[in-house]
């Protein structure tokens, strides 16, 4: 064997050893200093790293649909009312509980060896990457029908990925890490908005939209790699024996837990709690553009100010939940989230002002970050571990209804009332959810044991 061949063989062995050690370390529990507090140890564990990667993969397609898509359509000259109606492509997010029993019952043929959760995760992630790339190859001005079909497909794949990732996270994390794991996941979910909501907007001023969508699609790769590396949860229950069992038992347990009245009140609260905030941010990017901000300004100021403030709110929310519990978080964070909506009304009056834009967006995002941490933890603790995928899909589907159907009317509301009055309406619509808190999350209730 020649010297060159020997060197190549040595390099191959070194590379294989590196990959083997990396995977082994990724799979192995993270060994942290014994003096670390339990909360810090929880945030720095291997499981939290998995939550970061999967949270990013879960949020990316949603923010492509609701951030990048609206900017692309507006920049291409599509009417604002039509952009508002595009919220209807998010229909799958509100009905994902319908096919979630299939994902509870079966694995994907061909990759079934990965397990029930990972096989679905891998297939949906790969297809999302392909569809995002395909969307950017068409002109929305002349080929709007094709764009609508592709975006609807993307929403279906994204909702399906959410089903299995939510179930995976609920089964993968021990009870004592559900609170911190949910907060970390939500923060990574929000972090993904940097790509379609900031990087892509900046790139769109310098590159063709087809290239922008390709670059955006490639950010699904970390999630795909994580899915291939991590193991299947060991805490899964026995798979449903048949489809009837997969469909009936989760709903029967939820209704029988405390009766029909309480079940309906929980569902109504999930629908209403973030209604005002969801509407206020539905047309955020077109709002900034209509005020006169450039896409680069939106990418550098609005998106970053909102992102980092939201992440800070999410982390502070995780600490609060660890100390006081979910119920008090829903009260305090809900009030802050509600009042922060008024910042958009202030911005509508002030007009183009970079500093006001940054402060208003940052304050609103910080409050929403707090509220989302408590709200998502509430959904997690309301889910029975025996019926993870279907119940989680039911609750998150209901929370997505405002984003899909109510938000579809926002373009018409703005056209009739103007931006300032629109945000005042959003503020008022956020109040009913708060009025249900004494029933569904009383202030005096002790901290749940499954929150850190």
- Least confident segment among 10-24, 50-64, 137-151, 222-236: 10-24
Which has the higher per-residue pLDDT, 79 or 367? 367
Taken as a whole, the chain contains a residue count of 452
Instruction: Indicate if the pLDDT at residue 33 is higher than 70.
Output: no
Per-residue pLDDT at 402:
67
Per-residue pLDDT at 141:
79
Per-residue pLDDT at 216:
95
Round to whole Å and give the CA distance between 391 and 283. Answer: 30
- Least confident segment among 25-34, 151-160, 197-206, 412-421: 25-34
Instruction: Answer left, alpha or beta for residue 259, where phi above 0 means left and psi between -120 and 50 means alpha.
Output: left
Per-residue pLDDT at 403:
62
Instruction: Indicate if the pLDDT at residue 29 is higher than 50.
Output: no
pLDDT tens digit sequence for 124-139:
999 999 999 999 899 8
**C-alpha distances in Å from residue 119, one per residue of 101, 173, 224:** 15, 19, 11
pLDDT category at 446 given cuts 50, 70, 90 is: low
Q: Which domains does the chain have, with CATH numbers?
A: 48-230+237-440 (1.20.1250.20)
Percent of the chain that is helix, strand, coil (3-state, to 5): 80, 0, 20
Looking at residues 268-274, what average pLDDT do you find? Answer: 89
Contact 246, 104 (CB under 8 A): yes
Which has the higher per-residue pLDDT, 435 or 244? 435
Instruction: Indicate if the pLDDT at residue 43 is higher than 70.
Output: no
Looking at residues 379-386, what average pLDDT do you find? Answer: 76
Unique residue bearing structure tokens 């193991």: 231
Which residues, 6+ apart, have CB-to-CB distance to 304 below 8 Å? 194, 198
Instruction: Indicate if the pLDDT at residue 288 is higher than 90.
Output: no
Round to whole Å and give the CA distance between 94 and 327. Answer: 25
Which has the higher per-residue pLDDT, 136 or 173? 136
Instruction: Indicate if the pLDDT at residue 150 is higher than 90.
Output: yes
Neighbours of 123 (CB within 10 A): 20
Per-residue pLDDT at 159:
92
Looking at residues 436-440, what average pLDDT do you find? Answer: 91
- Least confident segment among 140-154, 176-190, 262-276, 344-358: 176-190
* HSE (side-chain half, CA atoms, 13 Å) at 417: 16
Unique residue bearing structure tokens 């997010």: 93
Per-residue pLDDT at 313:
77
Per-residue pLDDT at 9:
55
Round to whole Å and give the CA distance between 386 and 248. Answer: 13
**C-alpha distances in Å from residue 308, one per residue of 191, 313, 352:** 8, 8, 21
- Least confident segment among 15-29, 293-307, 338-352, 423-437: 15-29
For the CA atoms of the chain, what is the radius of gyration?
22
Task: State residue 324 phi and psi, 5-degree precision.
Answer: -120, -20
Instruction: Indicate if the pLDDT at residue 168 is higher than 80.
Output: yes
| Residues 157-181 as b or e (16 or more Cβ within 10 Å = b) | bbbbbbbbbbbbbbbbbeeebbbbb
Of 83, 23, 99, 92, residue with least CA distance to 61: 92
pLDDT tens digit sequence for 82-124:
777 776 777 788 788 788 888 877 889 888 888 888 999 999 9
pLDDT category at 428 given cuts 50, 70, 90 is: very high
Neighbours of 290 (CB within 10 A): 14
Round to whole Å and give the CA distance between 97 and 101. Answer: 7
Round to whole Å and give the CA distance between 379 and 154. Answer: 25
Round to whole Å and give the CA distance between 254 and 250. Answer: 6
Highest mean pLDDT: which of 193-197, 304-308, 403-407? 193-197
Per-residue pLDDT at 4:
44
Task: State residue 418 phi and psi, 5-degree precision.
Answer: 90, 165
Highest mean pLDDT: which of 223-237, 296-310, 386-400? 223-237
Contact 160, 124 (CB under 8 A): yes
Instruction: Indicate if the pLDDT at residue 305 is higher than 90.
Output: no
Round to whole Å and give the CA distance between 391 and 98. Answer: 11
pLDDT tens digit sequence for 174-192:
766 776 677 788 888 888 9
Which residues, 6+ apart, have CB-to-CB distance to 404 below 8 Å? 87, 88, 90, 91, 93, 94
pLDDT tens digit sequence for 59-78:
999 999 888 888 888 787 77
Output the average pLDDT for the chain.
80
Percent of the chain with pLDDT strictly greater than 90: 21
Unique residue bearing structure tokens 């979630």: 100
pLDDT category at 22 given cuts 50, 70, 90 is: very low
pLDDT category at 217 given cuts 50, 70, 90 is: very high
E-strand stretches of 51-185: none
Per-residue pLDDT at 215:
96
pTM above 0.95, yes or no: no
Unique residue bearing structure tokens 């509870």: 104
Percent of the chain with pLDDT strictly greater than 70: 82
């Amino acid at each position: 064997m020649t010297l060159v061949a020997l060197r190549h063989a040595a390099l191959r062995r070194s590379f294989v050893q590196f990959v083997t050690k990396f995977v082994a370390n990724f799979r192995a529990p993270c060994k942290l200093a014994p003096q670390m507090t339990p909360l810090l140890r929880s945030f720095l564990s291997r499981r939290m790293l998995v939550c970061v990667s999967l949270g990013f993969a879960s949020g990316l397609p949603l923010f492509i649909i609701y951030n990048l898509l609206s900017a692309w359509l507006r920049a291409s000259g599509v009417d604002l009312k039509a952009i508002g109606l595009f919220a209807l492509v998010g229909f799958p997010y509100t009905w994902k509980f319908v096919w979630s029993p299939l994902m509870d019952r079966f694995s994907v043929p061909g990759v079934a060896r990965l397990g029930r959760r990972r096989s679905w995760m891998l297939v949906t992630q790969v297809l999302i990457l392909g569809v995002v790339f395909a969307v950017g190859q068409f002109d929305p001005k002349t080929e709007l029908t094709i764009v609508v079909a592709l975006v609807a497909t993307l929403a279906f794949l994204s909702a399906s990925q959410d089903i299995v990732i939510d179930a995976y996270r609920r089964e993968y994390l021990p009870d004592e890490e559900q609170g911190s794991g949910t907060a970390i996941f939500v923060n990574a979910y929000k972090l993904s908005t940097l790509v379609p909501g900031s990087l892509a907007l900046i790139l769109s001023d310098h590159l063709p939209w087809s290239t922008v969508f390709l670059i955006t699609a490639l950010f699904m790769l970390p999630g795909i790699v994580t899915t291939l590396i991590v193991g299947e949860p060991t805490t899964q229950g026995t798979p449903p024996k048949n489809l009837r069992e997969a469909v009936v038992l989760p709903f029967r347990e939820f209704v029988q837990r405390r009766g029909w009245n309480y079940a309906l009140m929980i569902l109504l609260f999930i629908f209403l709690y973030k209604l005002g905030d969801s509407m206020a941010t539905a047309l955020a990017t077109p709002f900034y553009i209509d005020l006169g901000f450039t896409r680069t300004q939106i990418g550098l100021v609005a998106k970053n100010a909102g992102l980092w403030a939201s992440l800070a709110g999410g982390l502070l929310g995780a600490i609060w939940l660890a100390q006081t519990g979910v119920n008090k978080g829903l009260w305090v964070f809900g009030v802050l989230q509600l009042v922060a909506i008024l910042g958009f009304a202030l911005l509508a009056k002030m007009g183009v002002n970079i500093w006001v834009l940054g402060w208003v967006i940052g304050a609103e995002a910080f409050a929403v970050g707090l509220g989302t941490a408590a709200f998502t933890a509430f959904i997690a603790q309301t889910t029975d571990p025996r019926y993870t995928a279907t119940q989680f899909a039911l609750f998150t589907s209901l929370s997505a209804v405002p984003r899909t159907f109510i938000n579809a009317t926002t373009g018409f509301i703005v056209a009739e009332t103007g931006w300032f009055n629109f945000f005042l309406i959003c503020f008022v619509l956020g109040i009913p959810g708060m009025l249900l808190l004494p029933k569904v999350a009383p202030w005096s209730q002790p901290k749940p044991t499954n929150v850190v």
